[in-house]
A = this chain, B = another copy of it.
Amino acid sequence: MAYSYKYPRPALTTDCVVFGLDDTDLKILLIQRDQPPFAGEWALPGGFVQMEESLETAARRELEEETGLNKLFLEQLYTFGEPGRDPRDRVVTVAYYALVNLQEHAIQAATDARAAQWFPVAELPALAFDHDRIIHTALKRLQGKVRYEPIGFELLPTKFTLSQLQKLYEKILAQPLDKRNFRKKILSMNLLIDLGELQQDVAHRAARLYQFDPQKYQTLKQQGFNFEI
């Protein structure tokens, strides 16, 4: 049954834009290439889709192989297939983006010993292929989506403060938000569980810790509720 269609076929890969957030920056995880083309340059984690795996499975497998990260929030972004985007051959790539919280997921040395490193989105190095364009598309998608879906929580630890959440939105949307209005809005949605716990070891008044309630969100969504920041 294989190869019923006797036409030349483009090669098919997946690439993944992994976003992480730390105290100072929104960051993207890149891999240093050790093979031509673009040897020594930085690129998105990714690789070839195997014949028996789905596209998303391929994206997750490559991510784990190259960075040790797994069980991330992962969503298809866009498919890039201009002839000439790979100098050797026609290669079509299905791009994904992922969100990870840096506190709870440390990246491992890649199994094939290639360097993996986080870069602030404002300080990206030169990138292989059209990966700058893919990252640009992913940033736009993240900015659009974070306002209408509660995906921002994927970038935070399970327990977080309202200030952490506000800073997350300020960094992604690149605009300041009013503290009181932000708290009013987010708390009025009733999507956060007040854990009754406080931050530890901070050199100022400790903030309350909250947790996102995905089940509550599903329930409200079915009743016509729309998340919006």
Pair A89/B1 contact, Cβ less than 8 Å? yes
Other-chain contact of A79, B9, B53, B76, B89 (Cβ < 8 Å): B76
Taking Cβ atoms with an 8 Å cutoff, the residues of A that contact B are 1-5, 7-12, 48-55, 76, 78-79, 81-83, 88-92, 94
Q: A85: nearest residue on chain B (CB-CB)?
A: B54
**16 CB-based A-B contacts, threshold 8 Å:** A2-B8, A2-B90, A5-B11, A5-B88, A7-B48, A10-B12, A10-B49, A49-B81, A49-B92, A51-B83, A52-B90, A54-B83, A55-B81, A76-B79, A79-B94, A92-B94
With a CB–CB cut-off of 8 A, which chain B residues contact A3? 89
Q: Report the Cα distance A9→B5, complex, angstroms.
A: 11
A3 to B78, CA, bound (A): 24
Once the chains are docked, how many angstroms separate the CA of A10 from the CA of B7?
11
Q: For A7, what are the chain B residues with a Cβ–Cβ distance below 8 Å?
A: 11, 48, 50
Q: Is B9 in contact with A11, judged by CB distance below 8 angstroms?
A: yes
Which of these, B54, B81, B91, contacts A82 with CB under 8 Å? B54
Given the known interface contacts A2-B8, A9-B12, A11-B7, the answer about A52 and B83 at a Cβ–Cβ threshold of 8 Å is yes
Write out the residue numbers on chain B whose beta carbons fall within 8 Å of the beta carbon of A8: 2, 51
Cα(A83)–Cα(B88), bound, Å: 27
Min Cβ gap A75→B in Å is: 11
